[in-house]
Amino acid sequence: MKKDGYNIAIVGATGAVGQEMMEILEERNFPVREIKLLASERSAGKELEYKGNKIKVEKLGENSFENIDIALFSAGSSRSREFAPIAAQSGAVVIDNSSAFRMEEGVPLVIPEINPHALAGYKNKGIVANPNCTTAVTVMALKPLHDLGKIKRVIASSYQAVSGAGAQAIEELRNQTLAWANSEEIRSEVFPHQIAFNLLPQIDSFLDNGYTKEEMKLHYETRKILEDNEMALTATTVRVPVFRAHSVAVNIETEKKISVNEAREALNNFPGVRVVDEPGELKYPMPIDAAGTDDCIVGRIREDYTIPNGLSFWVVGDQLRKGAALNAVQIAELLIGDYI
């Protein structure tokens, strides 16, 4: 670890995830020597606050990464494809939050609590991939159960907050809610249909197999993170009118039977996971409880009575934190602790 800290760049600093990255770096007292905020030409010149100081946002360009140690990318896959290799060639380690490199051979896809050993692979291309937000929340609950009984099959249905679609999506839900309350016209620009008081069973574009890209991300990324290409996973991803924190209903089939008590104990003992499961007291995980927190919260744990070795449960996690910015900063902490 460098005694005087590290030079950090945040690409997409004005977006919801970029701003969350800044907050988490400050919260966790990450050893930042200098921080550079990068965004598109449209956002260049804006000022954002970090540790009480106003920092001007700079336009992202080919020369943006000189003397940068770690570059945190949160600007979308096209920007990552273009600029992440440039940042890596400049000597920075890239932690990319987009889908651009997650399934690329030689690029580690890392959740620090689950597969920190994979991080050694960053040396291949200088890039580490952050998982999809729904994948991160789901796999945090799958990992301790997979270790306990080896999961054969997963059926997942997600209930994803608008925060997953960025700052403009958050604003659209707010504006539509206000318009509804005031009996005004409801306009949809970010989403293809009204999101306020509605559910959209589509996240990302549809593929030839009838699934969306988001659903297939959950399939492929889960298998890569858990290092198990035999695991079968099918998903339905749904956008819901919640501002922040994703929820996932999960059903698993395991090789070895896992009792409810064994599942609760394994989940509660896993770092980054907390069990809230007292249905008799009406206590179970809700997005409103997970928003702004680091842990993924699991509840509604019960045996699936239709198969011999099955469990169903409900997991909730903050999309902007464990689903994105927090996981990226945790990767950076591992990097400076063990690698750079």
Query: Which residues are known to be catalytic?
Result: 133, 246
Among 97, 88, 98, residue whose Cα is nearest residue 122: 88
Task: Spell out a b/e string for 263-281, using b for 16 or more CB atoms within 10 Å of the CB, else e.
Answer: bbebbeebebbbbbbeeee
Match 């966790």 to its residue by tokens: 28
The C-alpha atoms of residue 310 and residue 15 are separated, in whole angstroms, by 40
Q: Which helix (H) or strand (E) holds 86?
A: helix 77-89
E strand or H helix at 143: helix 133-149
Query: The tokens of 130 are what?
Result: 């952050």
Find the Cα–Cα–Cα–Cα dihedral 38, 43, 45, 48, rounded to 10°: -70
77: which 2 tokens?
């896959």
CB 249 within 8 A of CB 314: yes
Q: Report the relative pairing of strands 53-56 and 47-50 from DSSP bridges.
A: antiparallel
Contact criterion met (CB below 8 Å) for 310 and 304: yes
**Is 275:300 a contact under the CB 8 Å cutoff?**
no
